[in-house]
A and B are shown apart, each in its own frame.
Chain A
Amino acid sequence: MTDRDAMSRRTMLLGGAALAGAALPSGQRAAAAGRAEAITVALPGNLETLDPHQFRSILTGSVLACAVETLLTRDVATMELKPSLATAWRNLDPLTWEFTLRQGVKFHNGEVFDARSVKFSIERIIDSPLNTLGKTVWPPSFGQSVEIVDPYTVRIHTRLPDPLVPNRLAAESLNMAPPKALAEMKDKYVSNSLIGTGPYKFAEYTIGRQVVMQANPDYWGEQPATPKVVWAIIADPATRVAALQRGTTDVVVNLTYALIAGVKQSAGLAVYSVLGSIIQGILLNANQTPALHDLRVRQALNYAIDRDAIINNLFLGLGKAANGVVASQVEYAIDPGSYGYHPDKARALLAQAGFKDGLELTLWQSNDRYDLGVEAAQAIAGFFEDVGVHTNLQLLDWGQFNARAGRTQFKDALHYGFVNGVWDPDYVMQRVLPSYPTFRYYDAPEALQKDLQRYSSTFDKAERAKIAAASQQTLHDQACWVFLYQTNENFGMKQGVQGFRMRPDHMIVVRDAYVEV
C-alpha cells in the first residue's frame, strides 16, 4: 500500500518553495510553483447544509471549514490546540475563560470579526432553538454566556466548571459567523450562503452536482495552496474511482475496501490511508439483559473475538484493534491491555456464569453505515457462536438504527462507533454515567461514577491524566463494551496530489493541497 504520510519527502522538499511563494496571491502562487489552478475532490453525497452550525457529518464540516473558522484549531498531524481566530486563551477561574481575539480579520462580506461575532455565534449555537451540532459538543446545561470585555477580548462564563472550553471551541461545529449578515437568521437555518473568515470563499453549491470554493485574497493567514477547490458529488463509489482513473477528479473520499486494489493497480494513482479515531465496539445492554449484567459474560464476549483476524481479512489490515473506549490518538488515552483471542477462556467464563449450555443474544447492526459493517457483524456473530453464544443478527438502516441506539431501544447488543467531539476521554466516558440522557446500556460502578464526575471538573492536567487513565482501565476491566477496533479512512488520489490531509478526528484539510502539473 502506498501510504502517503503527512510529511512525505516530496512535501518536505517543496516546503521551501511553498514558503517562498507565501506572499503571492493564491493563483500566482499556483502558477509559480507548477501547480494546477484547481483541485477536485469527489464526495459521496451532498452537503447537509450551508449553515455553519447545523450540519452533523464530518464531511460537511470539512467542506464548510474551507470558508468558516473557529476560535481555536488543531494541528493536522498531532491534534495539538493552536490559535486561529483567537490568538491566546487562559483560564481565570473554574467558571471563566478569557480569549484574546485576532485583529484585522474580516468576514467575506466585509464585516469585521470581533467580540460581537463571538457572542453572536455562541448564542446562535447554544441559546437558539436551532438543532445545532454544537449543543452536542457543548451541552447548554453548562450554562455558557459570553461577556465582551473589549472589542478583541471575550470572557466565557459557565455555571458548571468546564476545563474543556478550549477543546469545545476548537470543534468544527463552533464556527464563527458574521452577526450583521445573519442578524435575521439567528433562529433560522441558512440555506443559500456561507460567509466566514476562512481561506476560501464560497462560490457555488449546486445540489447533486458540486460545491465550489475560491481562494479568499483578503485572508488573514497564508494563502491556500490551490486557488480553487471543487467538491464534486458522486454517490456511487465505483464511479468515483472511475472518475479518478479517467483523471476528472484528483481525490476520492470514502474509497471502499473492494476498490482499494483497483486504485493501487492503476498507473499514476495512490491510496492515502489514515487511522481514524472512531472507536468501534459492541455496546452491551447490561442494564436490561440479565446475562450481560454478569461481568464474566461481558469478559467472555471480549475473549471470544479475534479482532486481528477481522482487521486483516476483512479490512485489509487497514486498522488496529481497540482495547478501550477511547481512541488511541485522543489526549489522555491509554492502552489498558488486550483481552486477546482466547475462546477457551470465554467458554470457561460462560460456564462459571451458568451458561455452560449456551446463551442467546441479539446483535443489532446498521446495514449502511460502515463499509463492510454487516460482514464484520457476521464475523463477530460467528466468533460468538464458536464459544456457545447463539447470536441473532438484526440489521436496520442507519436512520432507524441511530435513532433507536441513542434512546436505548436495543436489548442485548449493538455495534456502534463513537467519534470524539472534544478530543478528550470525557466525551465517551460520560456515557457510562446513569445521569447521561442517552445510550443507557451500561452504568459504571459507583466509585468510577465519582471519578468521572471529578474528572469533568478537574483543571489540573496531571490530575486529569491520572483520573483518565484509571477510569479507562476500570472500564476495560469491567468490559463495559466488547472492544473492537479503529479502522482507517481511505482515499484514492492522483500521485501528483500533495498536501491533502485527514486529521485524526476525520476532518479533511485541503488548504495545503495542490496537484502538481
Chain B
Amino acid sequence: MAGYITRRLLRGVLTMLGVAVFVFGLLLLSGDPALIMSSPDATPDQVAQLRATLGLDRPIITQLGLYLGHVLRGDLGQSLRFNRPVAGLILQRLPDTIELTLAGIVIAIVIAVPAGIVASVRRGALLDRLVMAGALAGQAIPVFWLGLILIRVFAIDLAILPVYGQGGPAHLVLPACTLATIVMGRLARLVRATMLDVLEQDYMRTARAEGLREWRVLVVHGLRNAAMPIVTLLGLQLAQLLGGAVVTERVFAWPGVGSLVVEAVFNRDFPVVQGVTLVIAGIFVAVNLLVDMSYALLDPRVRQ
C-alpha cells in the first residue's frame, strides 16, 4: 500500500515539473511579451526597459532556472496588470472557484446518481427514456446559454435568485446548477451503464434471495460495486468542472480563478496565466492521486 502511494506521489511530482517547464515554454512561444505589453507608442528604449524589468533579457536556461526556483518557493511572479503577487491573487480567488466547483459536483451527484440507478432498474421504460433524454440534453446544452436562460427565468422573471456575484447561499444556486449540468448527463449515463452490468451479477440475486430490501440491494451491493468507474469519472470531471467554471464564472460574474484567467489571457498578463495553469494542474494531479488512493479503499484487491 505504502509503495503504491509513493509511486503515485512521485509520478505526480514529475507531472508537475513537466507542467512547469511546459508553462514556461508557452511564454517563449507567445512572442516577445515586452513588445505585446508595451503601448504601440512605446519607444524601443521603453520596450527594452520593460524587457529588463521582466528579466527577459537573460539566457533562456537562466530564466527557466529562476522560474522553477521561484515556483518551488511558492512565488508565481508578479501580475503585470494588477502589480500584485500572482500567488496572492490566486489564493484570494481559489476558494470561490472551489466553492462553486464543489457545489456543482454535489448537485450533479445528488441528481445524477439516483437518476442513473432508477433508469437502470427501469431499463427500457418511459422513465429510463426520459432520464437518458435529459442526460443527453444536459451534455449538449452550452453552459453560457443555460446560464443566461437560468438568469432570465429565476433572476429576472421570477426574481427569486440574484443575477450575479457573491453574497450568500442564494448567489451560489444558479452558477452551481449551471456548472453541474456539465457533469450530470455523463454521470447519469455512466451510473446507468455500470448498474446495468452490476444488476445481472450473481451476488445481486443472492442479496435479493436473502430477503434484503430493494434499496439496500441497489445501494449497498449494487452501487458499491459500481463505484470505481463513477469515482474515476468524477475525478476526471473535476478538472473539466474547473475548466467549465471559466465560462460559468464569467456569465455570473463569480469572482473566481476562471474569470481571473480569462481576463489575464485578454490582457496578456502572462504570469497570471502561468500561475493559474500550474495551480489547476496541481489540483488535477492531487485529485487523481486521491482517486487512485480511493481505489485501494473501494477494492481490497488493489491494496494487495
**Which residues of A are interface residues toward B (Cβ below 8 A)?**
45-46, 48-49, 51, 54, 56, 129, 131, 133, 135-136, 189-192, 206-209, 232-236, 238-239, 242-243, 245-246, 248, 368, 397-400, 402-403, 405-407, 437-439
Contacts and interface: CB of A to CB of B under 8 A. Distances in A.
A316 to B, nearest CB: 22
B177 interface: no
B155 A246 contact: yes
Given A207-B92, A399-B36, A235 B259 contact: yes
Interface string B53-96: 00000000000000000000000000001111000010011000
A207 B79 CA distance: 12
A400 B29 CA distance: 13
B122 to A, nearest CB: 39
Interface of B: 31, 35-36, 38-43, 46, 49-50, 81-84, 89, 92-93, 144, 148, 151-152, 155-156, 159, 162-166, 250-253, 255-256, 259-260, 262-263, 266-268
Contact of B43 (A190, A206, A208, A437): A437
Contacts of B39: 56, 131, 133, 136, 402, 406
7 contacts: A129-B49, A191-B83, A236-B144, A236-B250, A238-B151, A406-B40, A406-B41
B260 A245 contact: no
Contacts of A236: 144, 250-251, 253
A190 B82 CA distance: 9
B83 A51 contact: yes
Contact of A239 (B36, B251, B267): B251
A399 B166 contact: no
A239 B252 CA distance: 7
Given A131-B38, A192-B84, A439-B40, A235 B93 contact: no
Given A136-B39, A438-B41, A238 B259 contact: no
A46 B263 contact: yes
B265 to A, nearest CB: 9
B115 to A, nearest CB: 30
Contact of A242 (B50, B164, B262): B164
A414 B35 CA distance: 19
A contacts with B: majority SS: loop
B164 A243 contact: yes
The 10 closest A-B pairs by CB, nearest first: A406-B40, A208-B255, A191-B83, A234-B253, A189-B83, A399-B268, A243-B163, A209-B255, A136-B41, A403-B36
A207 B89 contact: yes
Contact of A248 (B43, B81, B152, B162): B162
Nearest to B148: A238
B163 A239 contact: yes
A235 B40 contact: no
Contacts of A233: 253, 255
Contacts of B268: 399
Given A136-B41, A234-B164, 13 more contacts: A189-B83, A207-B84, A209-B166, A233-B253, A233-B255, A235-B259, A235-B263, A239-B253, A242-B152, A248-B164, A368-B266, A399-B36, A402-B40
Contact of A49 (B82, B164, B252): B82
Contacts of A133: 39
Contacts of A243: 163-164
A129 B152 CA distance: 49
A209 B84 CA distance: 16
